[in-house]
């Protein structure tokens, strides 16, 4: 690491050793696990418009095409494993210096790395919900059902997005068969927050409470472009709580940050766990 980054990491290590740290993670934390971010250096440009809740529920053609892309994308998201950054965050939690973890990611990799009590702002792709009866089922169950309903589906993705949505040629989408809830026949949807939906109030309330009682808000791998995550940085700055950001490239949180480190998370985070307490 460059000397400036080494000095910044040392400062961050001192803050973390004090405890009272709350992590806010974004897609950049999962890029080393093979999941692209949205806007960072490893992100791929979207060729399709992100699905909105209104379109998903009202347009059967758009819904069918979404499920075809998502079914293929799940093969990448579902097979992803935690990287050194996820494992470092889990170790910091086990060391007792983290008061909470808030994530904008929907990949479940924090928990897979051993973290617990993670606030998943936008939900988790590993779960499917029925919009009629509310039943939750594991994604693997739906994946098997979709495989059975589409035995000849052999589309190849040209790109993947952080939300598990694969980019496919249009001709690969039109013959895909969608399945409904086994219990009531209702419409199924990944248990994640779409554009046009709001983050459940209890998650927001819990996240604000964590931030407001923190000594340091540590932002990991987020450009903070959307207000869903940036609002916690704004609240911390307003309350005089330290904001430290580790991210590749610029973020919209920099004007409010006490410390900004532009360096790979897979290097910085494991180094922090090795610093003396």
Digit-coded pLDDT (tens) for 96-150: 999 999 999 999 999 999 999 999 999 999 999 999 999 999 999 999 999 999 9
Catalytic residue among 71, 86, 122, 271: 122
239 pLDDT more than 90: yes
Q: What percent of the chain has pLDDT over 70?
A: 90
Residue 244 near residue 257, CB atoms below 8 Å: yes
CA dihedral for 213, 262, 113, 120, sign (positive or negative): positive
Q: Where are the alpha helices (DSSP H) in 158-239?
A: 201-212, 227-238
Q: What is the pLDDT of residue 195?
A: 84
133 labelled binding-site residue: yes
- Residue 41 phi, psi (nearest 5): -60, -30
Which of 31-35, 48-52, 178-182 is the least confident region? 48-52
- Rounded Cα distance between 72 and 172, Å, is 11
27 labelled binding-site residue: no
- Rounded Cα distance between 202 and 179, Å, is 30
272 labelled binding-site residue: no
Q: For the chain, how many structural domains are there in total? A: 1
Assess whether 71 carries a catalytic annotation.
Answer: no
Domain that holds residue 13: 3-274
**Which element (helix H / strand E) includes 99?**
strand 98-103
- Rounded Cα distance between 243 and 209, Å, is 16
CATH number at residue 70: 3.40.50.1220
70 pLDDT more than 80: yes
Q: What is the pLDDT of residue 273?
A: 86
């Amino acid at each position: 690491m460059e000397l400036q980054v080494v000095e910044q990491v040392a400062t961050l290590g001192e803050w973390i050793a004090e405890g009272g740290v709350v992590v806010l993670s974004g897609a950049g934390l999962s890029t080393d696990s093979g999941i692209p971010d949205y806007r960072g250096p490893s992100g791929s440009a979207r060729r399709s418009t992100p699905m909105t809740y209104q379109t998903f529920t009202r347009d059967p053609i758009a819904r069918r095409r979404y499920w075809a892309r998502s079914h293929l994308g799940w093969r990448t998201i579902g097979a992803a494993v935690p990287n050194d950054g996820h494992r470092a965050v889990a170790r910091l939690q086990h060391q007792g210096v983290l008061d909470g973890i808030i994530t904008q990611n929907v990949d479940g990799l924090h928990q897979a790395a051993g973290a617990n009590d993670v606030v998943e702002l936008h939900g988790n792709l590993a779960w499917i919900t029925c919009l009629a009866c509310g039943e939750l089922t594991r994604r693997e169950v739906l994946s098997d059902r979709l495989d059975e309903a589409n035995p000849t589906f052999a589309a190849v993705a040209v790109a993947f997005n952080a939300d598990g949505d694969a980019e496919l040629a249009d001709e690969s989408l039109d013959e895909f068969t969608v399945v409904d809830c086994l219990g009531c026949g209702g419409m199924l949807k990944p248990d994640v927050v779409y554009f046009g939906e709001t983050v459940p109030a209890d998650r927001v309330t819990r996240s604000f409470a964590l931030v407001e009682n923190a000594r340091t808000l540590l932002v990991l791998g987020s450009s903070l472009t959307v207000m869903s995550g940036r609002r916690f940085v704004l609240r911390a700055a307003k309350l005089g709580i330290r904001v430290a950001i580790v991210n590749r490239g610029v973020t919209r949180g920099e004007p409010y940050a006490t410390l900004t480190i532009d360096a790979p998370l897979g290097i910085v985070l494991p180094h922090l766990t090795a610093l003396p307490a």
